[in-house]
Amino acid sequence: MNIVLFGPPGAGKGTQAKELAKHYNIPHISTGDILRANVREGTTLGMKAKEYMDKGELVPDEVLIGIIRDRLQMPDCNNGYILDGYPRTLPQAEALETILEEIGKLLDVVLNIEVPDAELIGRLSGRRMCSCGESYHLMFNHPLKEGTCDACGGKLYQRDDDREEVVRQRLEVYAAKTKPLIDYYDKKGLLVNIDGTGAVEDVFRQICNVLDSYRK
Ligand code: AMP
């Protein structure tokens, strides 16, 4: 399955993508995770990206297109992939189409996870992360021991861009630059809307029902 997980920041793309990757045994490719790894490692790319990420802005298209072109050609993508956080602009979507045509891995479906704006701010500002990849929420999914990851015992932290003022900017950027892609993929007949407001397991089941109908 070749999948794009689409939706605003806080819709649950990362959480769902992680479960889907395990369930269907295909890689979860999160451009946000790739950029954050570069920031942590202090690479040139990471230092450039951080300036945009801290402000809630998008990192320039050419940077992301290069990352995705390289990543999709790795052998673990041979049986499919889940893109999370890419594409976010029309030029990124057009570049993706060209890349996928070149490498023969066209998209099967774009899953658009829908969550009302009012809910997104609370979801993002209460989110806490661990460097092992687990994420928690102060209200909906708190760790057993405050500030500590259940999975690895690591110290939880808040992403710089999950602070409320940056969250608002990210949502504005989403509305202006990313949301128009819903129409783009709808016109191509690739879009399926998913109600992202329920429990994580319910959203996961909805998505699996859609994907299983594509595999038949
Ligand atoms: P995410 O983890 O997907 O919420 O991404 C975190 C931040 O990384 C975004 O707010 C952007 O600054 C940057 N980013 C991630 N993916 C992209 C993308 N496809 N295009 C531009 N910037 C991106």
Q: Is the CB of 58 under 6 A from ligand 1?
A: yes
Residue 12 has pLDDT above 80, yes or no: yes
Helix, strand, or coil here: 173? Answer: helix
| Ligand 1 centre distance from Cα of residue 56 (Å) | 8
How many Cα atoms occupy the beta-carbon half-sphere of 165 within 13 Å? 2
User: How far is residue 3's CA from residue 190's CA, in Å, rounded to a whole number?
Assistant: 10
CATH, domain range 2-27+74-215: 3.40.50.300
Q: Is the CB of 28 under 6 A from ligand 1?
A: no
Determine how many CB atoms are found less than 10 A away from the CB of residue 185. Answer: 20
Q: What is the pLDDT of residue 55?
A: 94
Reported as a pLDDT band with limits 50, 70 and 90, residue 73 is very high
Q: Is the CB of 35 under 6 A from ligand 1?
A: yes
- Mean pLDDT across 5-20: 96
Helix (H) or strand (E) holding 32: helix 31-41
Q: DSSP letters of 42-101? A: T-HHHHHHHHHHTTTPPPPHHHHHHHHHHHHTSGGGTT-EEEES---SHHHHHHHHHHHH
User: How far is residue 23's CA from residue 2's CA, in Å, rounded to a whole number?
Assistant: 14
Q: What is the pLDDT of residue 216?
A: 64
User: How far is residue 137's CA from residue 173's CA, in Å, rounded to a whole number?
Assistant: 23
Residue 69 has pLDDT above 90, yes or no: yes
Helix, strand, or coil here: 128? Answer: strand
pLDDT digits (tens, 9 = 90+) for 91-120: 999 999 999 999 999 999 999 999 998 899
Domain residues of the chain, as ranges?
Answer: 2-27+74-215
Q: What is the pLDDT of residue 192?
A: 98
pLDDT digits (tens, 9 = 90+) for 160-210: 999 988 999 999 999 999 999 999 999 999 999 999 999 999 999 999 999
Cα dist. 5→30, 39, 50, 191 in Å?
A: 10, 23, 23, 10
Reported as a pLDDT band with limits 50, 70 and 90, residue 140 is confident
- How many residues are listed for the chain in this entry? 216
Q: What is the pLDDT of residue 214?
A: 85
Q: Is the CB of 127 under 6 A from ligand 1?
A: no
| Ligand 1 centre distance from Cα of residue 213 (Å) | 30
Of 61, 59, 20, 30, the residue nearest 201 (C-alpha): 20
pLDDT digits (tens, 9 = 90+) for 31-58: 999 999 999 999 999 999 999 999 999 9
Helix axes 180-187 and 90-103, enclosed angle (nearest 10): 40
- Rounded to a whole number of angstroms, the CA Rg of the chain reads 17
| Ligand 1 centre distance from Cα of residue 64 (Å) | 9
Q: Which residues are catalytic?
A: 13, 88, 127, 159, 170
The owner of tokens 């990313």 is: 178
Q: Tell me the residue ranges of DSSP E strands in the chain.
A: 2-6, 28-30, 81-84, 109-114, 127-129, 135-137, 191-195
As to burial, measured by CB atoms within 10 angstroms (0-12 exposed, 13-18 middle, 19+ buried), residue 179 is middle
